[in-house]
Amino acid sequence: MNGFASHGLDEDAFGEKSGLQGGLKTFDAFPKTKPSYTAPSRRGGQWTVLILVICTVFTFSEFRTWLRGSENHHFSVEKGVGHDLQLNLDLVVRMPCDTLDVNIQDASGDRILAGDLLQRERTSWKLWMDKRNRETSGGVHEYQTLSQEDTERISAREADAHVHHVLGEVRKNPRRKFAKGPRLRRGDTVDSCRIYGSLEGNKVQGDFHITARGHGYRNFGEHLDHGVFNFSHMVTELSFGPHYPTLLNPLDKTIATTESHYYKYQYFLSVVPTLYSKGASALDTYTNHPDLISTNRNKNLVFTNQYAATTQAADLPENPYFIPGIFFKYNIEPILLMISEERTSFLSLLIRLVNTVSGVMVTGGWVYQISGWVGELVNRKRGRGKSEGVLTGKHYAED
């Protein structure tokens, strides 16, 4: 009827087939070209492989991000009324133990005889320096002077700011004991004192100091010769709050040395209460379950304190108006930093994957068509293009 049969053409090839399959194709929102009218090309195959590779990479990246979760930081005024603050100290001073006074004087006027609460251990400065030289990490000494700040130490401190690392370190050392120091050997000179332990103080601004006996307080009848003074020291740990020895604080594993006898070291510390939470929002945990924070019964919840430190050191004139020693002045900031590691639902992950893969495929199709169209235009301008499906005057003449 329409002339297709006379040319050997099948009219059914240009229409939908009858039956159930043809009826379903009627409702197809994306009609497909018949396979007999498509021709595979090498460029199209390469482009398909590239799209599949990109989709695979994006899918793996989204899945890895979902597994790792995301960290959220919140700041809030600390709720409740604080009373006590635990101080953890492990420090070696290059003076005999019986020549040192260790005390805390806080803003409330209380004076705590920290020397009676902390443990003292007679030791040798050379032993600790040898220990420092033996302990290396990545070719770098773990103990550093105050003026040094290598990349290994910076990266270790940055790792302690992430929830998964903090929780992992806390679970590794549940006993939270202080490490044993090097043993005295026969012939070692006992010229130093190791002061270590934990003590409870008031949660207010305070001053923890180590001075020579008879200096700083009026201890009548006791006055040491200035020639025995040497406040060179090695800080293995200084932290506030629950004792987590594997977490690296700014002053941990630092050394300060001096040849002067009448010398003063001052450290100014700004302490920030910090809450680490995994699997739930730290803000919700802090609001709804404050008992978990005080008792630390939740394995996915760690309450501790961070601090920033600045230091000053000076050689003092030898007169009664100046007091040599090691002074840690700390101030409690009135805020609470809450760091939570959260993970979205699996349905959210599927939605992100569908959006990502769909976007890559649609964008890839557009780029493929546009690049083909641009290539065709370039070839036509160069005179190498061929017209397809257009009858010219030459064809009419041949007919």
pLDDT in tens, 263-316: 999 999 999 988 888 776 556 666 666 655 655 566 778 888 999 999 999 888
Low-confidence winner among 2-11, 194-203, 276-285 (lowest mean pLDDT): 2-11
* C-alpha pair distances (Å), 243 with each of 94, 259, 297, 302: 25, 33, 15, 11
Q: Which residues pair with 277 in a beta bridge?
A: 301, 340
What is the pLDDT at residue 398? 45
* pTM for the whole structure: 0.69
What is the pLDDT at residue 75? 83
Instruction: Using pLDDT thresholds of 50, 70 and 90, give the confidence band for residue 120.
Output: very high
Buried b / exposed e over 204-226, threshold 16 CB at 10 Å, is bebebbbbbbebbeeeeeeebee
What is the pLDDT at residue 122? 92
What is the pLDDT at residue 15? 52
Instruction: Using pLDDT thresholds of 50, 70 and 90, give the confidence band for residue 323.
Output: confident
Q: Give the residue with greater pLDDT, 235 vs 397.
A: 235
Average pLDDT of the chain, as a whole number? 77
What is the pLDDT at residue 237? 92
| Contacts for 227 with CB less than 8 Å, ≥ 6 apart | 261
Most confident of 30-34, 119-123, 166-170, 317-321: 119-123
- Could you read off the pLDDT of 59-80 as tens digits, one per residue? 888 888 887 777 788 888 877 6
| Contacts for 182 with CB less than 8 Å, ≥ 6 apart | 123, 127, 128, 130, 131
- Could you read off the pLDDT of 380-399 as tens digits, one per residue? 887 654 555 554 444 444 44
SS3 of the chain: the string is: CCCCHHHCCCHHHHCCCCCHHHHHHHCCCCCCCCHHHCCCCHHHHHHHHHHHHHHHHHHHHHHHHHHHCEEEEEEECCCCCCCEEEEEEEEEECCCHHHEEEEEEECCCCEECHHHHCEEEEECHHHHHHHHHHCEECCEECCEECCCCCHHHHHHHHHCCCHHHHHHHHHHCCCCCCCCCCCCCCCCCCCEEEEEEEEEEECCCEEEEEEECCCCCCCCCCCCCHHHCCCCEEEEEEEECCCCCCCCCCCCCEEECCCCCCEEEEEEEEEEEEEEEECCCHHHHHHHCHHHHHHCCCCCEEEEEEEEEEEEEEECCCCCCCCCEEEEEEEECCCEEEEEEECCCHHHHHHHHHHHHHHHHHHHHHHHHHHHHHHHHHHHHCCCCCCCCCCCHHHHHHC
Q: Give the residue with greater pLDDT, 43 vs 366.
A: 366
What is the amino acid identity at position 180? K
